Every structure is written in structure tokens, then in C-alpha cells.
Chains A and B, each alone.
Chain A
Amino acid sequence: MSGFVRAAGAEWVKLRSVRSTVVTLSLFAFVALGLGWVVANGFSEGGPAADALLPIMFGLLTAQLVLVTFAVATVGSEFSTGTIRASLAAVPSRGRFFAAKMTAVGLTVAAAALVVEVAVYGLVRVVIGDAAAPLTEWWTIEALLGGWIHLTLLSVFTASIAMMLRSTVVTLSILLPVLFLSSQGLGNLDAIRPVVQYFPDQVGMVIMHMTVPGDPRFGRDYGPWEGIAILVLWTAAALVGGWLSMRRRDA
């Protein structure tokens, strides 16, 4: 078994052996399902067909705050508890340790996001019946796929930032306001929208049908998969930053 596989296996043991993993991922599911249910109950037919995606995406996009907190805390707790010293003594290759941690966090988040997204889709379908977004349409599949990629990559992005900042609290206190509050609210202001629309939490909005290119208020200058490509770039940049910071600094 290669050193990377051993290290990733150890990261998986770390994840599943602490209570907070079960607690936060359950909370993620609860918020996504609960808000999906609430919005689905208020859903009225007659608008554009793609509006049927709103009950699914609204719950998931709110619950992403919980998922991101999970990803950040997974990294931050190594520093707050001091286990980072034992981790690096056991896996002295910084690149290997970082890759193993990001793989374990990424796969766990991807699995949780997939299961919850499918569950939310099923719940919304039960509530609004035939008006639900049909799985026979490509735009439904595209939105669900895009939402899953968005949740997964955004979590890896924030986990990498946490590796650079070495703290759950510092990371969340910077990322939550910048990425999730100001850009969703202030992002609609004409003055800053040309910049804010490229922020990592915003670039998935087109594929999830939370906005469309050309919309006068919420419009974007890129298409659905271009948005995902931008998110991939953000994630890649954060991974490089996290890796460089791991490599250079003393434990």
C-alpha cells in the first residue's frame, strides 16, 4: 500500500472517530431537507419550468454554510488540538499529508452532498408532484450535477484556506462574511457585481439556475459550465496555496 493511501486511510479514521463529523453532517442534511420542504410547500405552479429547481437549490445553498464549516473545522481542529504535530511526525512529507487530508475531506463532502441532494430532490418531488423538475430534462440533471460539484469544490476550497490560516475561527470569520453574506446580498448591487460575480460561492449560481446570463439584476457574464470552470480554478489556486504554506512553515 502506498504512503499516500495509508495517509488518506488515517485521515478517514480521524474523520469518522470524532462526534462533530456526525453532528455537522446531520445538521447539513436537516437544514437542506427542512428548507427544501418549506420552499416546496410554498411553490406555486405557472412560472417557468426551471423555477421548480428553486426548492431544491434554496435548501442546499443555505445548508452549504454547515458543510463549509465542517470542511474548515476538519483542518482547523488539527491546529487547535495540537494533533498536527503528531500528524506530521507520522507523515513527514507535507505534500502527502496535505493531499491525504484534502482527499479525505473532499470524498466525505462529495458523498454527503450527493446523498443529501438526491434526498432533497426526492422530498421536493413528493411535495410538489408533477410540477417538480423532471429528470428526463437535461437542465435538471445539469443543475443537480452542478450543485453537487459546487458543494464539493467549495468545501475543498475553504479547507485549503483553513490550511493556510491554521485556524477554524479565523477562516470562518473571514470566509463567511466575504463569501456567503456580502456577495449574496451586495453582489446584486450594480457597482460591485462585475467583480463579486466571480467569487467562488457565486460562480455555481448559473448552473443551479439561481440566475441566468443576461438577467438585468442577477445576471452573469458567463455560462453554466464556464462558472464551474472558474470554481475549479479557484479550488486549484487554493490547493496550491495550502500546499505551499504547508511546505514552507514550521509545524
Chain B
Amino acid sequence: MNASFTITIDNQSVEATPGESLLEVCRKANIPLPVMCDFKGLSPVGACRLCLVEIEGVPKLLPACTTLVAPNQAVHTQSDKLRKYRRMIIELIFSERNHICAICVANNNCELQKMAYELGMDHVRFPYLTPVCEVDASHEKYVMDHNRCILCTRCVRVCSEIEGAMTRDVMGRGFDARIITEFKQPWGDSTGCTSCGKCVQVCPTGALTPNDAAQGRLKKNPELVALLIEKREAKP
């Protein structure tokens, strides 16, 4: 076991163990950090850029989820610049596809919506791009509405890393990137999907939902997946 050491986060001394990420340390110390793509137990990808922090002596902003702790690190999570950038990022996500809460099944049960409140987003200053995306309702239990997808790839990772089915991936690039099932076939035709529903539970928006959810009535239970991951990692 490696000896733990102390780092400073927002002028507060925090204990850290080698190999931990800054995000993990923040979570243990109850220091709030906004995250969209990260999900505890899944491999971090550093894609949403909301958990960017400033580290003294490092010229660029680094994502807390993929940056490992190092002795004598001095981290700042709440500068004016970071707050400004985070707000712009969440606005960019809202501008990208269709995130109109009033007509979404995930209304009031949505991590994206919650994040927008937390970051103080009162309006979106960028033009809405809202491309017309597919809605895949071919699965017997679930629906994938690409119009609500923010490409956090939690579903891709939970499917390969926890369920082991590797049903999902990303296709295309840039603004045209889409989550696909198998080789871009309708979800219902997938022979690899085990219909376990973990992707639905970890999806932070209304992109993946059970097909019987009515507007605003969606119940998701990501904690169940988190618990499952924890149990799998625990040594008997």
C-alpha cells in the first residue's frame, strides 16, 4: 500500500492516495465538481470538460476525472474563469440538440437539467442547432431518442465494461457523431444486447428511457448500477 499524502484543493488540505484521480479525491472530501460524462466505476474519458480544474504550475486546464493526484498539488476548482467556461459548455450542450425540458420524459429527473440549474444557466446565448435525429423505438423495452443524446458515452462504457456485451459504440465524427447499436442496426434487431437496461439507468438525459415512460414520469436508478459496480469490484 502506497503512503497517502496531502494536496490542497481550494485552499483546503485533503488526503490523497497515489493512483487516485482528482475527482475521486474531491468526492471523498465532499468538494462538489460538475460532471456529465463521468460515472463512478466506469473508466473516465474527460469528454464533457465540466470538471476542468486549475492546477498551480500547470499552464493548461485539466479534467479532474482523468488527472491523477500528485504530492504538493494545489488545485482550484472554482475560479471565475472556470465558472464562466462551465456555463458556456453547458449552454453549448443545450444548443446542440433538442433539450426542451417541457416535452421530455426525463423532466425533473434529468442530470443535464439539474446541472444547468447548478451552473446558473438562465438562458442559452448560442443559436439552437437542433438537427433532426433518429428515434429508435425498435427495442421491446427501451427507446433511444438521439435528439436528447449528449454523447457522454456512459452507455457505451457501461455496456462494454460492466455488462460485457459491447453492443454500443460511436459512429461518425464531430457534430455528426452518433451512438450506434452493433453495426448501426435498429436496437431491437441487436442480437448482442442482453436488454439488461444498464445503459438506460446511467444515461444522464432522456435519450435512453423505458418505452412506457410518460412525460415527466421517468424514474431512473443509476445508484443501482453504481452499487453493482461496487459489488463486482469488492473482493469476497
A complexed with B: no
